[in-house]
Amino acid sequence: MQEAIIKRAKELLADGSVNRVIGWKKGEFVYDITPAVFETAEEIDADFVYNELTSANVSKYLVKETKKDGKVLVFLKPCDTYSFNQLTKEHRINRENVYVIGIPGGPKLDVEKIKAKGITGILNITNDNGTLKIETLYGEETMPFADAVSTKCENCKSKKHVVFDELIGEDGDITDTNRFEMVEKLENMTSQERFDFWRDQLSKCIRCNACRNICPACTCEKCVFDNPDLGTDNKAAADSFEENMFHIIRAFHVAGRCTDCGECSRVCPQNIPLHLLNRKFIKDINSLYGEYQAGEDTTSRAPLTDYTFDDCEASIVHERGAE
Amino acid sequence: MQVNENKDFEPVIVAFCCNWCSYAGADLSGTNRLNYPTNVKIIRVPCSCRVNPMFILRAFQRGADGVIMCGCHPGDCHYTSGNYFARRRMTLLFSMLDYLGIERNRTRVEWVSAAEGAKFAETMESFTADIKKLGPNRRLEDLRCRKQ
Amino acid sequence: MLKISKDRITEIFNTVAESKSLYLPVNREDGQAEFKKYENGMVLSENLNTLRSAKDFFFPQTENLVDFKMEGKNIEVIDVREECEDFVIFGVRACDARSFTILDKVFLADPVDSYYKNRRDHGTIVTMACTRPSETCFCGSFGIDATEPEGDAVCYTDGSSYFFKANTEKGEAFINSVSSLLEDGDTAELEKVQAKTKEILAKLPLSNLSTDSFGGEKLNELFKSEKWAELSEACLGCGTCTFVCPTCQCYDIKDFNTGNGIKRFRCWDSCMYSDFTKMAHGNPRLSQVERFRQRFMHKLVYFPANNNGEFGCVGCGRCLSRCPVSMNIVKVMKALEEK
C-alpha cells in the first residue's frame, strides 16, 4: 500500500496538480511516526511511511494548510474522511485547496499496548499473519496482532470513505459495531459506581490538553479554557471539580460534531477513555433525536443546531436507566 | 436516591429565568403574595437559550446544591425557537451529568409563562424539597469554594 | 555491600513506612507505573520508569501558595503552608535523580523557593539502578550512568537480591533505619549484571546522540536556524511533553476567586501554550514555531548558558513515548545537527 501511495503522491507533485502532500513521516524507531508536509519527491522517497502504525488522523492539519497558497494532497483513512467532511461543513477547510485520496484504514496498532505487556526495548515490529514479531534489545517476542490493536480501531464504525477525489484500494462499507457496549455498561451501573469510575479516570488527567488539541472538532481560535477574561481558564486542575468541568464541557462542545474518530483516547498520555464521554452524547443523540453520524455529509443540520416541536423534555434523562 | 439526614440543611438553589416568561412569572408570584423558598436565587437571562452548560457547572462550583432553568413554554419563545435549542442542550447535559454519577434531580428544566405565578411558586417549592432530600452537593463541588 | 533478598523487600517497605511516608512506583490497571504512597501489600513496579516523573514530590502540579480574605476594607493574608514531614521516595531512576539537581539549580538559587526547599529538605531519595534500559533512553548523552544513579541512597539489583549503598547522610540514615534487615552480600553477580547493562546501554539506538552541537555559545546559530518551522509543523501545542518532563520547571501563578476569598495557586505552565509568559503588552511568542523553539532552546542552549554548560534534559525518554505526534527532543537535536 505504501508504494502505491508514494507513487501517486509523486505523480501528482510532478504534474503540478498539488504542491504539497500531507502524510506520515518515519521517526527514530519503527513506531514514532509524525504527521508531516512533504514538498518534494526526494522527501517522500526518504521519509514517507504508511503502515499499521500510522494511526494519526491528519485532517485537522488541513485547517492550517488549506489557507496557504496552492493545492495540498491529503491521504485519508475512512474514519478521517468523516472528520474532513465535518470540517468542510463548518467552513474550517477550504475544500478547493485540497485533493483527497482515500486509502484503506486500520486496524492500527498501538505500541503502548505492546509495551504494557512488558515488551520493552522495541527495535522492530513485523506482522506475520496476525502474529506480531517484535525484535527487542532483549531478544524476539511475539504477541497476537489483535491484542495490540489501538483502542480507536477496536470498534471501527466505517470502512467507507464518505468523501474523496480518488481512491487507492477498495472502498468498504459502514460497519455494524457494538461501539456503545461500554457506554451501556456504565449506564447500567449505579450512580455511585459511575461516579467512582469517572473520578478514578478523570483524576488521572494532567490537563495537557492533548485531547483538545488533537481533536478535529476542536478548532476554536481561542478555547474557553484558555481565556483568562472568562474566569474559567485553568492550566492545571487545582480541584477535582475542574477535572470534571473541563471534560464535561469539552465533550459537550463537540457533541453532535464529534465523528467518533477516537483520537482523544489515542493521544491521552494517561490512557483516560475519553471516547466514552463522546460516545455517550452520540448514543443519546441517536436515541433521542434520531440516528445521526457527524461527518457523514456536509449539508444536514447538526442535532444541537436543530430541533423539533415534539422533542422530549429534559426530565426524560432522570426517568430512564439505573438510578 | 440518597436521603439527606440533616434536617437543618438549607440548600442554595440557582434558577435561571428567561426575561420574557419565567422572570415575569416570578414577579407575578410576588405581586400575588405567593410564597416560595428563600433558598432560590434567580438569575435573569434574556432567553433560556442563553444558558450554556458552563453556567450550570459554574453555579455548582460556587456552591449551588440545585440548578433549575425556567423558560417560556415551547412554542411561546420571544425569539421563536430559543427554548427548543435550550431543551436539547439541557437534555444532553443532564444526561451527561447523570452518566458521570452526579445525583439525578439536582438539575431541572421547567417551562413557566408570565401568567403562571402560582406555577412558579409551586415549582420552586417542589424543587427545593427535592434538593433538601438529596442533601448538599458533594459530587460536583469545588472544595475551594466551600464556605468556612 | 549490604543486601536483602528480593522476596524480602516488602519488609524494608513496611519498616520504613512505620515511621515515614514512603512512595514507590506501583503498576496501575493499564500497566503504567506511577508513584503511590506505600500501603501494605503494594508491589514495586518492574517497569523501567513511571509515566509521570518524580518531580511532583518537590514541585507539584498545583500548589496553594497563600490565601487572602477580605473583610470590609481589610485584607487578611493567610499563610497556608503546612509543616512538611519526612518522606522517602523509593525506586527513582538515574534520569529522574539527575532532574532533581537540575530543579535545584532553579529553585534553590537565590532567591530560594521556600516551598520547594521545604519539601526537598524533608525528602530522602532512594534510587534504583537500571537493568533493562529501553529504546527511548538516552541518559548517557547527558553524562548519566544508568547503572550508577545519584540520590541519597542507591539500590542495585542482580535479579535475586537488592543491594544498598548510601551517598549522603540522609541515605545513611535510611540504610541505618533498615540495617537490621540487611546482611553483607557478595557483589560478584551484581557486577556481572552491571557489566551486561552497560553493554546494552552502549548499543541503545540513541546511544550515539551527541550534545556537541548545543550549549550556550550556539545561541545565535540555533536560534536563527531555518529548521524550526519544519520541526514545529506537526506540533499540536499541547503540554504533554512539558508535563511528563522531569526537568520542565516553568510555572504560572493564578488567583482563584472562591466567592468568599482568594486562593493563590501556583501551577505548572507549558511553553507550548498560547498564553505562556503573557504580559500586559501581549505575548512574546505569537506562533507555535516560536513556542516550540523556546522549549528546546531552553533545554539545550539557555539552561547550559546559565548553568556552566549543564543541559536541561536528562534523557528519560518520556516525551519520546508520550508526544501525540511523536515529535521530540531527539528528532530536534538530530535535525539541528545536520548542517
**How is A79-137 classified by DSSP, letter by letter?**
HHHHHHHHHHHTT-S-GGGEEEEE----PPB-HHHHHHTT--SEEEEEEETTEEEEEET
pLDDT confidence of residue A209: 93
Distance from CA of C116 to the nearest CA of A (A): 18
Distance from CA of A316 to the nearest CA of C (A): 33
Tell which phi-psi region holds residue C159, choosing left (phi > 0), alpha (psi between -120 and 50) or beta.
left
CB contact under 8 A, A315 and B109: yes
The confidence band for A322, taking pLDDT boundaries of 50, 70 and 90, is: low
pLDDT confidence of residue B119: 95
CB contact under 8 A, A307 and B101: no
Q: Is B35 helix (H, G, I), strand (E, B) or coil?
A: coil
List the subunits that have 3+ CB pairs under 8 angstroms with A: B, C
- Residues of chain C in contact with residue B148, where contact means CB-CB under 8 angstroms, are 260
pLDDT confidence of residue A12: 94
Residue B76, pLDDT above cutoff 70: yes
What's the total number of domains in chain B?
Answer: 1
Would you tell me which residues 278-307 of chain C have a C-beta closer than 8 angstroms to some C-beta of chain A?
278
The confidence band for B3, taking pLDDT boundaries of 50, 70 and 90, is: low
> Measured between alpha carbons, how far is C47 from C36 in angstroms, rounded to an integer?
14
pLDDT confidence of residue A227: 83
Output the nine-digit C-alpha cell for C198. 552497560
Would you tell me which residues 166-195 of chain A have a C-beta closer than 8 angstroms to some C-beta of chain B?
186-187, 191-195
pLDDT confidence of residue A230: 78
> Domain containing B83 — which CATH number?
3.40.50
> Measured between alpha carbons, how far is B130 from B116 in angstroms, rounded to an integer?
21
CB contact under 8 A, C275 and A226: yes
Check: CB of residue B99 under 8 Å from CB of residue B107.
no
Mean pLDDT, range A249-256, rounded to an integer: 95
CB contact under 8 A, C258 and B148: no
Encode B66-101: b = buried (16+ Cβ within 10 Å), e = exposed. Answer: bbbbbbbebeebeeeebbbbbbbbbbbbbbbbbbbb
Which of B92, B100, B108 shows the shortest C-beta gap to A281?
B92
C64 in contact with chain A, both atoms CB, cutoff 8 A: yes
Q: Which residues pair with C77 in a beta bridge?
A: C68
CB contact under 8 A, A37 and C233: yes
pLDDT confidence of residue C282: 86
Distance from CA of C84 to the nearest CA of B (A): 21
Q: Is the peptide bond before A107 cis (omega within 30 degrees of 0)?
A: yes
- Above pLDDT 70, what percent of chain B? 95
Query: What count of CB pairs under 8 Å joins A to C?
Result: 132
> Measured between alpha carbons, how far is A261 from A263 in angstroms, rounded to an integer?
6
Q: Is A292 helix (H, G, I), strand (E, B) or coil?
A: coil
Q: A287: part of which helix (H) or strand (E)?
A: helix A275-289
Please tell me the least confidently modeled range out of A156-165, A219-228, B114-123: A219-228
Chain C residue whose CA is closest to A39:
C230
Check: CB of residue A56 under 8 Å from CB of residue A33.
yes
**Is the complex ipTM more than 0.85?**
yes
Check: CB of residue B105 under 8 Å from CB of residue B1.
yes
pTM of the model: 0.93
List the subunits that have 3+ CB pairs under 8 angstroms with B: A, C
Residues of B with CB under 8 A from a CB of C: 62-63, 142, 144-145, 147-148
Domain range spanning residue B31? 13-140
User: Using alpha carbons only, what angle is made at residue A38 by residues A37 and A42, rounded to the nearest 5 degrees?
Assistant: 160
Check: CB of residue C59 under 8 Å from CB of residue C105.
no
C263 in contact with chain B, both atoms CB, cutoff 8 A: yes
Tell which phi-psi region holds residue C245, choosing left (phi > 0), alpha (psi between -120 and 50) or beta.
beta
pLDDT confidence of residue A55: 92
CB contact under 8 A, C257 and A231: yes
* Residue C218, CA atoms < 13 Å, CB-side half-sphere: 20
- Residues of chain B in contact with residue A192, where contact means CB-CB under 8 angstroms, are 101
Residue ranges in chain C modelled with pLDDT below 50: none
The confidence band for A129, taking pLDDT boundaries of 50, 70 and 90, is: confident
Distance from CA of B146 to the nearest CA of C (A): 8
A33-75: pLDDT as tens digits: 999 999 999 999 999 999 999 999 999 999 999 999 999 999 9
B46 part of a folded domain: yes
Please tell me the least confidently modeled range out of A235-239, B101-105, C277-281: A235-239
B58 part of a folded domain: yes
Q: What one-character-per-residue DSSP string does C4-69 give?
A: EEGGGHHHHHHHHHHHSEEEEEEE-TTS-EEEEE--TT-----SSS-SS-GGGGTS-SEEEEEEEE
Chain A residue whose CA is closest to C29:
A116
Mean pLDDT of all residues belonging to chain B: 92
Q: Is C70 helix (H, G, I), strand (E, B) or coil?
A: strand
Query: What count of CB pairs under 8 Å joins B to C?
Result: 11
Residue B2, pLDDT above cutoff 90: no
- Residues of chain C in contact with residue A231, where contact means CB-CB under 8 angstroms, are 257
For residue C336, give the nearest of C242, C216, C218 by alpha carbon.
C218
C256 in contact with chain B, both atoms CB, cutoff 8 A: yes
Q: Which DSSP letter does residue A149 get?
A: B
Residue type, B81: S
pLDDT confidence of residue B148: 66
Which one of B67, B95, B142, B143 would you mutate to disrupt binding with A, by most A Cβ within 10 Å of its Cβ?
B95
- Residues of chain A in contact with residue C240, where contact means CB-CB under 8 angstroms, are 206, 208, 210, 267, 269
Mean pLDDT, range A193-220, rounded to an integer: 94
Residue B66, pLDDT above cutoff 70: yes
pLDDT confidence of residue C275: 87
Q: B107: part of which helix (H) or strand (E)?
A: strand B107-111
Phi, psi of C174 (to 5 degrees): -65, -50
CB contact under 8 A, B53 and A252: yes
Close Cβ partners of C194 (under 8 Å, ≥ 6 residues apart): C129, C147, C156
**Four-point Cα dihedral A52, A53, A57, A61, nearest 10:** -130
Residue B5, pLDDT above cutoff 70: no
Check: CB of residue A259 under 8 Å from CB of residue A83.
yes
Check: CB of residue A205 under 8 Å from CB of residue A237.
yes
B86 part of a folded domain: yes
Residue A236, pLDDT above cutoff 60: yes
